Structure formats: structure tokens, C-alpha cells
Amino acid sequence: MPAAAPPPDPTAASPDSAAASLDSAAPPQDPSPATADAAGLDAAELRDRYASGATSAAEHVAALLRRIEEIDRSGPTLRSVLAVDPHAVDRAAERDAERARGEVRGPLHGVPVLLKDNIDTADTADTAGGGALPTTAGSLALAGVPTPADAPLVAALRAAGAVVIGKANLSEWANFRSGSSTSGWSAVGGLCVNPHALDRSAGGSSSGSAAAVAAGLAPLAVGTETDGSIVCPAALCGVVGIKPTVGLVSRTGVVPISHSQDTPGPIATTVADAALLLGVLAGADPGDVATMRSGRVAYSDYTKFCRPDGLAGARIGLPRAGLWGYSPAADALAEEAVRLLAARGATIVDPADLPSIDEIRESDAELTVLTTEFRADLESYLTTRRPDGPRTLAELVAFNNDHADRELTYFGQDRFERALATRGLCDPVYVEALRTCRRLGRTHGIDAALGAGRLDALVMPTYPPAWKIDLVNGDQLPGACSIPAAIAGYPVVTVPCGAADGLPVGLAFVGTAWSEPTLIRLAYAFEQALSAPNGRARPAYRPARIG
């Protein structure tokens, strides 16, 4: 199996092709029937099957690698997996051998995991010019520039027994290169599409992580978020995503945008699986000062908060102003979800608006913070890569201009250029913008709304249903849940709450800092109440259609 997918043919990258057709009334067959059973197993089910001997990690990983070939690189051609580890089956076999000796490393022993391709892995020595698992952020500028070590979160996954089977495609540079980008596209990996409907966006920037989990290419994936990059693709692809409090999970070895907003987090098919993965990822890292408080608030096991009765006695607020109302389809499903929350024992406070929401929508403070921190943080990160790679943002801008036929085909690099004009972390303009973000997101935002209503969480539609991919005009996004929590550095959990015309919609649970246990409890109870009679929604791989 090749280590990386080749750069796409621009005509093949767009799903709007002559093959477009209307939906069939018949339920779709899985594009890889021989691996469909393997695709249906979540991490909890896998652990039981491994323990009973019903299957082995090596057998399961081999089935998923076959599925990647048959669904991701041919068939529907999702392009969600940018690279696979050619030694993944061998690594899984090593975990099987350990289990046979009675040595189980941790809760993910033998469980396959995908990593977003902005997370450093040291698996680069097998081949020249980039190795088996390169870390590229989707950019040709980093292709062939090895990383010296696993990121701490990767080391934690391996210590817990996980088998890292590959790197997931992403929106290039975590969707920060341009304000008119198309989510899911990278020069290295091509255009990742939504497995529910192949002409629809998989969201960004953790596009491949969410699409791959939805398609059953791996039960777990790690994404990263600055503003919506976990919860957006999770919602659009119909899976669970947790964007943790900034500082709960280490960012060392993760290609950065913003030290005040970046965080890795889990993507999974169930809340319990996402909670399981979060417990492995969470914890202090001396190399990331933001995590040093997490040692006092992090849990190694978040699954203990997964309680079916978790909604009983909860107080949940609906921030109607600015965070509802942008998508009738998403609103309709979220309203049904709210009725279910109330039926399962929650008190609904409606409305529970953020006092700062109008100012948040009008302010340019977030972009000032992000562009300033991006230049400083990225240039610091680049010093950790091989010396013959790019070292400055100016060099990356020049690289993109020199390779415009492959890098700038669909959109430019206006945010890179704005970042080049910033004046550093001591600039009073930046300092004031950061203070504004904290005020708007925290004290006059989420915390104000929670306090006024004595609330456990805020609930809203996560994102609208997936929009049609448009490589000419970029993403068309009428609204979303993510900005207040992003500028506050606060957690969000998104859970599927239904589908509009076959397109998933997520329900977002938002809380204050370090409130992951509460959000997981609420989200799990909602998930159990919603899915008990219906089962897990599966992608239809619907081709492009008219209308």
C-alpha cells in the first residue's frame, strides 16, 4: 500500500462530475462489503472482541487498511487518509503478542487510531524524502521534511497500546491560509469529501479525521481545533467530536495556529469512545505551559462520566441570539433534541443569550490574535523540523508563490500575508485584542450566560448541514456554534442529533473551562436517549445530484 496518496487531478478532485445522479430509493450497499463488519466496530466493541479472542488487532488493522484502499483511494474516493503506516499490521501483531503474554498496555491496546496530519510522528526513517508517516499540514512545503520525534500526545497513545495506522487529510494549514478556502482541500492530499454525500463538504479543518471515522476507516481519530476545526467536520460527517479546554491536551509537536486557542481532541462514533480517547490524551506536558494546570483537573478516565441518567436535574440554556436561526434545517432538529433533553429530566432555560454575542460577531479581535500568534508560533515550531526545511512564514509565502500551480490553484494566502504584517506578541494592538477575546468569550460571554441562568451547559446547533463543495468560491457558511468557545478557550462536545435530507446535523454542548466531565455526562445521556431505538447512522456515499 502506498505511503501517501498522490496529488489529485484537479478534475478528479471535484465530485461535481458527469457521474452525478439522483438518490436511489434503495438503501446503499457498503462500498467495501468484505470490510463492512470491521467498519461497524467501535473501540469499546473492539476491546471486548480482542479480549474474547473473536478477532485480533492484526486482523482488524489489515481489514481497515483494505477498506482504505477500497473506499478512500478508489470507489467513492473520499481522500480522507493522507498516509498509512506500512508497518501498521506488524505493530498490531506486537500488541496481540503482548496481550497473549498478559501484558495490556492500556485502554486502547490494539485499537487503531488516525492522526490529523499536523501532529508530529517520528515514523519517518523508512523511506527517503518524508518517510512512512510524514507531517505536512497538507502543504508541499513540509512534504519531505521529517519530524524528529512523536508529539507527546502520540507517545501517550502508543503507551496506551493504540496502533497509529496513518495520517488523516486536512484543510491545508488547518484552514488558515486564506479566508476564502475550501474546507477539506490540501495540496498533498487533495479534496476530502463527505461520506454521506460526495458533493458535500466534510468540513474543516479536521476533515479527514471526521470523514474517516464516519466511513469506518478507523474507530478513533485525533483532530485539532482553533475555531471549529473538530466540531465542524464531526457535525457535518455525523460523528462525535470533543474540543477540549485549551490546556487539557498537549500541543507540543502540533503544527500551530494560535497558542491561545489551539487544542487537539478526539473524534469517534460514540460519546463513550470519545471520552475514552480524551482520557489518554489529557494531561500535563512540561513543554506546553498551558497544560501545567491540567494536572489538577484532568482525568485519565472520562468514561466514568458516561451515565444514561446524566440529564436528570441538569439546567441547560439556549443561546438563541446569534447561535440559532442561521439554518432552518439545523434548528428543526435541534428543537427536537431540546424536547428530548427536557423529557429526560433537564430544565431548559430559554433564552440564555450571551451578553457579548453582538460584539463577538462584529469584532475583528479574534483574527488579530490569530494572525499575530500564527506567525510567532509557527516560526517557533519550524525550528523543530529539519534545517533544510522552511524556517519562516515569509519563506512559506514565497514557496507558495513559486509553486502556485499546485498550491494556489483554488484560493490564495491572504491570511498568511496579513500575518506577515503583524508586529509580534508585545504589540499593544495584539495585547488588547487578546484581552477583548477573553472578555467577550468568557466574562461577558459563556460564563455570563451560564451564571445568569445557573446553568450546567449551553446547547445549540453545531453547524448547518454540509454545504455543496465549491472550489471556485470557497465555503459558504451562514453560521456556527464555535466562535465564543474558541475565543474563550472553552470546551465543546458535538453529538449527532439527526439528519436533513441525509445530511447529518450535530447538537453542541458548551461549557466553562474544565467542564468536560459535565459536558460528556450530558452528551452521553442525550446520545443514549436519541439513538436507542434507531442505531448509529451510516454514510450513504450518495453521489452528486441536482438540486
**What residues have CB less than 8 Å from 257, skipping those under 6 apart?**
173, 174, 176, 226, 370, 373, 374, 377, 378
Which phi and psi (to 5°) does residue 42 adopt?
-90, 180
- Distance, in Å, from the CA atom of 426 to the CA atom of 434, rounded to the nearest integer, reads 11
Angstrom CA distances, 322 to 203, 358, 433, stand at 20, 7, 21
Q: How far apart are CA 449 and CA 460, in angstroms?
A: 13
* pLDDT tens per residue across all 547 residues of the chain: 333 333 333 333 333 322 222 233 345 689 999 999 999 999 999 999 999 999 999 999 999 999 999 999 999 999 999 999 999 999 999 999 999 999 999 999 999 999 999 999 986 544 333 347 899 999 999 998 989 899 999 999 999 999 999 999 999 999 999 999 999 999 999 999 999 999 999 999 999 999 999 999 999 999 999 999 999 999 999 999 999 999 999 999 999 999 999 999 999 999 999 999 999 999 999 999 999 988 789 999 999 999 999 999 999 999 999 999 999 999 999 999 999 999 999 999 999 999 999 999 999 999 999 999 999 999 999 999 988 889 999 999 999 999 999 999 999 999 999 999 999 999 999 999 999 999 999 999 999 999 999 999 999 999 999 999 999 999 999 999 999 999 999 999 999 999 999 999 999 999 999 999 999 999 999 999 997 544 567 899 999 887 5
Residue type, 236: L
The CA distance from 258 to 413, in Å, is 17
**CA distances (Å), 449 to each of 282, 318, 346, 458, in order?**
27, 9, 17, 8
Within a domain: 542:
no
At residue 330, the 3 state secondary structure works out as helix
Give the chain's domain count: 1
The length of the chain, given as a count of residues: 547
Beta pairing class for 220-225 and 112-116? parallel
* CA–CA gap between residue 341 and residue 333 (Å, rounded): 12
Task: Say whether 206 is catalytic.
Answer: no
Position 532 scores a pLDDT of 55
List, in sequence order, every residue forming a beta bridge with 240; answer none if it has no partner.
Answer: 268
Distance between CA 35 and CA 235 in Å, rounded? 25
- Residue 212 belongs to a domain: yes
Q: Based on C-alpha coordinates, what's the Rg of the chain?
A: 21
Assess if residue 7 is contained within a domain: no
Residues forming beta bridges with residue 224, ordered by sequence position: 264
Q: What is the model's pTM?
A: 0.94
CATH of the domain at 396: 3.90.1300.10
**Tell me, what's the pLDDT at 146?**
87
354 is in which domain, residue-wise? Answer: 34-531
> One of 116, 178, 250, 356 is an active-site residue; which one?
116
CB neighbourhood size of 424 (10 A):
9
Q: Are strands 190-191 and 185-186 parallel, antiparallel or unpaired?
A: antiparallel
- Does the residue 178 lie in any domain? yes
254 half-sphere exposure, CB direction, 13 A CA radius: 28
Nearest to 119 by CA among 147, 141, 84: 147
By the 8 A CB rule, do 194 and 236 touch?
yes
11 in a domain, yes or no? no
Of the listed 201, 205, 250, 294, which one is catalytic?
205
Sheet holding 81-84, edge to edge: 81-84, 163-168, 112-116, 220-225, 263-268, 240-243, 492-500, 503-510, 457-461, 315-317, 347-349
- Residue 87 included in any domain: yes
Q: Which residue carries 481497515 as its cell?
A: 64
Catalytic residue among 229, 250, 258, 482: 229
> What percent of the chain is helix, strand and coil (3-state, nearest 5)?
40, 15, 45
12 located within any domain: no
**Residue 173 counted as domain residue:** yes
Question: How many CA atoms, within 13 angstroms, populate the side-chain half-sphere of residue 408?
Answer: 13
| 167 catalytically annotated | no
